[in-house]
Amino acid sequence: MNLNLKIDRNLLGLAMNRVQGAMAERNLAHVGLNARKGRLHVAAADQALAIFNDFPCEIKSEGLVFVPAKIFSDLTRELPEGLVQLEKDGANLRVTAGPNKEFTMKLPLIEDVQWRDSPSVEYENTANISVSKLAYMIEQVGSCVATDSPRNYGTVAFMHRPSSDKSALRLVGTDSFRLSFCDIRVDMPDTFLKTGVSLTKRALQELSKLASEGFEQVKLSISDDQTTLVAEVPNFQIFVRLSAVKYPNYSSVIPDLKQRGVLVTTNHMKGVARRVLLAADKSRVLQLSFSDSSLTLSSKNTANSEGKERIGLEGYHGAKCDIAINGKYITDIVNVTGAEKMSLQFKDAVEPIVLTPYGEPTDCATRHILVPITGGAEAHA
């Protein structure tokens, strides 16, 4: 049968926005449109992701077509409000829109492509997770995960249940110069995530997008062979190929500091760091100078620009200590935390410094560990 349907422009746009993540090569990718039983099923897939979603529509004639992803995606963003008609017209898809059907465009169809329904997932390794908590966890750790890295573990985040607290779900990211982890407390069955999994940055981005749509819960499942993670909400499924990267034993680098932390106001720290770093060169070296009841942030470059600002500290009366760090790491942290205050714990100029937010969302706990620059700023450029 020749596909012929009408669907609200906003629903079509949302469907295409959802499948964007599965278009690694937009110029070569295609999108499947399958109209059946009163719903339009929209799907796209590449080697790492497969995304399926469906919405109600008015179907005159059921049918299945595949269209070039880039032009169809660009088109859906520009269509006028109201109903959009999609109709197969020979070797093309005719798109008609506008109150009086003023707009029409023909798109070439892609032949010899086979439609695959989303697999039925019945895994034991599954749990329902708060979407807002999951998104928060990803936001706290995401800056530590790179698209490309000389260290393979730097391109993934590790999701697992820490041995110290099996009621928590933890996400960890590190590039060896910094490490962040966030725990969220959720009600999980004992069968869920007995073995941790590694998630690429693309996978994290797709999972965090769920929060923008207002879903409360997402069902996360891990395939029995530990190769696929499935995220499910009503009429929307994301299949993610898990990374084969074996994550290092990160817990051994987390310092067990006994020193009492000093408190700083997060927004104040953000403003000071941004101002001071204007004087830094590309290495972004930021000097933290602790002295009695104060912290001075400073930076400079080879052109003799220099920035410096002093922050008063609550309750610090320790010895003078100068610590050099990559300023970008500080700004990454203060830009994503929602906490009003942060604690800074340190031992000396060479041991890692630990930043702990105070005032996080309920049942969420984050720590950030930064390695000081001791062997030259170029290593952290």
What is the DSSP code string of 276-307? HGGG--TT-EEEEEEETTEEEEEEE-TTS-EE
Query: What's the domain count of the chain?
Result: 3
Q: What is the CATH number of the domain that holds 238?
A: 3.10.150.10
Give 249-279 pLDDT, tens digit per residue. 998 888 887 777 888 999 999 999 999 999 9
295 in the same domain as 366: yes
Give 41-54 pLDDT, tens digit per residue. 999 999 899 999 99
Lowest-confidence region among 5-9, 130-134, 255-259: 255-259
CA-based torsion, 182, 183, 189, 191: positive or negative: positive
Say what the pLDDT of residue 202 is.
Answer: 92
Q: How confident is the model at residue 378 (pLDDT cuts 50, 70, 90)?
A: very low
Task: Name the average pLDDT for the chain.
Answer: 91
Long-range contacts formed by 223-229: CB under 8 A, 24+ apart: 223/123, 223/125, 224/123, 224/124, 224/125, 226/195, 226/197, 229/197, 229/199, 229/203
Whether 115 is covered by a domain: the verdict is no
285 in the same domain as 187: no
For the record, the structure tokens of 68 come out as 């070039």
> What average pLDDT score do residues 61-75 get?
96
Whether 117 is covered by a domain: the verdict is no
Give 170-222 pLDDT, tens digit per residue. 999 998 899 999 999 999 998 899 899 999 999 999 999 988 899 999 999 99
> What average pLDDT score do residues 16-43 get?
91
pTM: 0.90
Give 136-152 pLDDT, tens digit per residue. 999 999 999 988 888 89
> What average pLDDT score do residues 330-354 get?
92
Say what the pLDDT of residue 380 is.
Answer: 38
> How many whole angstroms separate alpha carbon 145 and alpha carbon 129?
22
Looking at residue 155, the DSSP 8-state letter turns out to be: G
How many C-beta atoms surround the C-beta of residue 205 within 10 A?
16
In the listed set 252, 283, 311, which residue is the last one of a domain according to the structure?
A: 252
Say what the pLDDT of residue 381 is.
Answer: 33
Question: How far, rounded to the nearest angstrom, does the alpha carbon of residue 79 sit from its chain's CA centroid?
Answer: 29
How many C-beta atoms surround the C-beta of residue 3 within 10 A?
22
Q: Could you list the residue range(s) of the whole structural domain that residue 271 is in? A: 256-380
Q: Select from 326, 327, 325 the least CA-distant residue to 346.
A: 325
Contact, 193 vs 163, CB < 8 A? no
How many C-beta atoms surround the C-beta of residue 87 within 10 A?
20
